[in-house]
Structure formats: C-alpha cells, structure tokens
C-alpha cells in the first residue's frame, strides 16, 4: 500500500469495532443515574455527562466514602453527592460502580436490597468480571463492564465495553452512548478486558514517559524546555491522529518519515538497540497480568 496522507479514508478494519452509529440513540431523559465511587475516574465521567448535557444535574446521584469530600464535590459539581450508596441505588435506574476493584463485591452486597432486574449496573472497575458482580447481586441483573482511561477528562478517551450474560444489545448501546461523551468506544469480548486495561487504561502513563523523554532529549540537543515539551506533545498527538484518520499501518507511516540515509533511520537504529519496542510490549504484558490480579487485592 502506498502512503497517501491526502486521502485519509478510514478503512473498515479500524472502524468495525466501534458501536454502529446508525442505531437510534437510547434516551436518558427521565433516568436517574448513580455514580457510586466518584473519585478520579467517576469524577471525570460525571463532569463529562454534565458538560455534554447528556444528563441534567438533577439526574445524577454521586457517592464517595468520606462525608467532607461529599460536601466539597457537591459544591464543586452542583449535583447531589452523599456517602449513602443504598439510597442512591434505590433512586437510580442506572448504577455506575466506580470504587476500587477490591471493594466492588462489598459495594454490590451493600446495595443489593435496592437492586431489581429493571436496573442496569455499569462497572468501570478494572479486573472485576461481570459474573462476579452478577453473583454478588444475587439475581439475573444486567451488568456491563467498561474500561475507560484518563484522557476522557478532555473528551479524548477510549472506553472498551463488554456485556454480561443478562445485559441486552440496547443496554450496551446505552452504555456506549454514555461513554461516547468522553471519547471513542469499542466493544470487546470480556476475556480481553484485562488486556485493554494493560494497553489503553495504563497506556497514557507509558505515553507520558515517552513524551517526557522526547522533551528531555530536546533539552539535551539545545531546545528550551517549554519548546521541547510542545514539540514532543504535538508530535505524539499528530502521529496518533495520522494512525486514526488515515487508517494506515504505523509501519507505513514510519517509512514515510524515514528518508534513505537520512537522520530518522539513525534515530530508529538507536531505538531498536535500546529495545524500546520489546520494552513497551513487556510493559503492556506486565500491566495486563497485574490487571488480572487487582480484584483479589
């Protein structure tokens, strides 16, 4: 395939996994949504739901562990925030579970009296399987598992979704619609969720290290730090955008930068000798392995 940056058509292979956009958008009007565990990730989602006007402030019931934090967040976000999970779950149609993985079974036990088969549970905790949540609920309840990442704070996130045994296609679409407010969504089989956690949930940290290193390199070759950081960040962003919008294989895009006997190939030689490729593969493998263990503490 020849490289042609002027024709950035997205091949179906890249867009296939996304939720089909021709399906009618399920309405959230009139639904009450509880976010149990509104910490870093829960807070990002909550703010995105409000900012996108997907939900009105009156539709959201958030909870945290500490009451002083509840008051602080309530003032900050203009929504009801409490420490009462059971009450929030009783009043909600859709319940997001956002506490740490190890605390999910206890949280589901706690809200069990409020659960009915009409409610939908969406967990964005790493590691915890839908079957485990179904079991803790004590009923055949609809559960969807989501794995978002922190660039969701700027609408540039990606969330992988998979559904449990009792969740319908419509409920999956509803979840995609919600997570669509913070970026892209992709549906995967649940067996891939730990891999998603290792790649795209941990991934921003790996990319920040690469970006920071590129900026350090810029300083080493004489650039002012702020200029070096800007060059590194925009280059990282631009390269990702090229992959997403042209649909070309990254290797092909790399070849287009690499002039024979030019400077880029010398840099690539250093990267290969330093083992960047293998190091990144191992980092994702290790993070995936750890994601499998998180639910156990």
| Contact characters 29-58, ligand NAP, x per CB under 6 A | -------xxxxxxx----------------
Output the smallest distance, CB 240 to ligand NAP, in A: 18
Is there binding between residue 100 and ligand NAP (CB under 6 A)? yes
Is there binding between residue 183 and ligand NAP (CB under 6 A)? no
| Contact characters 202-241, ligand NAP, x per CB under 6 A | ----------------------------------------
Based on the number of CB atoms within 10 Å of its own CB, is 254 exposed (0-12), middle (13-18) or buried (19 or more)? middle
Give the distance from CA 198 to its chain's centroid. 11
Is there binding between residue 124 and ligand NAP (CB under 6 A)? yes
Among residues 155 and 247, whose Cβ is nearest to ligand NAP?
155
Strands 157-163 and 142-147, by their bridges, are antiparallel
Question: Which residue, among 126, 122, 73, 65, has the nearest Cα to 93 in the 3D structure?
Answer: 122
Number of residues forming the site for ligand NAP (CB under 6 A): 27
- Can you give the C-alpha Rg of the chain in angstroms? 21
Q: Which stretch binds ligand NAP (CB under 6 A): 142-150, 212-220, 233-241, 243-251?
A: 142-150
The residue to which tokens 């909600």 are assigned: 92
Is there binding between residue 180 and ligand NAP (CB under 6 A)? no
User: Where along the sequence are the contacts to ligand NAP (CB under 6 A)?
Assistant: 36-42, 63-66, 69, 85, 98-101, 103, 107, 124-126, 147-150, 201
């Amino acid at each position: 395939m020849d490289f042609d940056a002027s024709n950035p058509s997205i091949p179906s292979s890249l867009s296939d996994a996304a939720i089909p956009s021709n399906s009618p958008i399920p309405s959230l009007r009139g639904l009450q949504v509880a976010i149990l565990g509104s910490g870093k990730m829960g807070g990002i989602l909550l703010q995105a739901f409000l900012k996108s006007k997907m939900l009105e402030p009156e539709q959201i019931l958030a909870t945290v562990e500490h009451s002083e934090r509840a008051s602080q967040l309530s003032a900050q976000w203009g929504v009801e925030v409490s420490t009462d999970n059971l009450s929030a779950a009783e009043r909600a149609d859709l319940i997001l579970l956002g506490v740490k993985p190890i605390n999910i079974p206890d949280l589901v036990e706690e809200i069990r009296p409020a659960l009915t088969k009409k409610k939908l549970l969406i967990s964005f905790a790493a590691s915890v399987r839908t079957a485990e949540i179904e079991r803790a609920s004590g009923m055949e309840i609809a559960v969807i598992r989501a794995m978002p990442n922190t660039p969701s704070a700027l609408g540039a996130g990606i969330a992988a979704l998979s559904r449990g045994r009792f969740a319908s296609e419509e409920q999956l679409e509803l979840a995609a619609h919600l997570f669509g407010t913070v970026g892209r969504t992709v549906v995967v089989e649940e067996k891939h969720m730990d891999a998603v956690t290792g790649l795209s949930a941990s991934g921003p940290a790996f990319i920040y290290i690469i970006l920071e290193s590129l900026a350090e390199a810029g300083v080493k070759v004489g650039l002012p730090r702020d200029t070096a950081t800007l060059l590194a960040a925009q280059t990282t962003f631009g390269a990702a955008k090229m992959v997403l919008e042209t649909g070309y294989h990254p290797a092909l895009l790399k070849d287009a930068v690499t002039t024979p006997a030019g400077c880029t190939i010398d840099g690539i030689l250093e990267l290969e000798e330093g083992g960047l490729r293998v190091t990144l593969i191992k980092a994702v493998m290790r993070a995936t392995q750890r994601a499998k263990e998180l639910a156990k503490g």
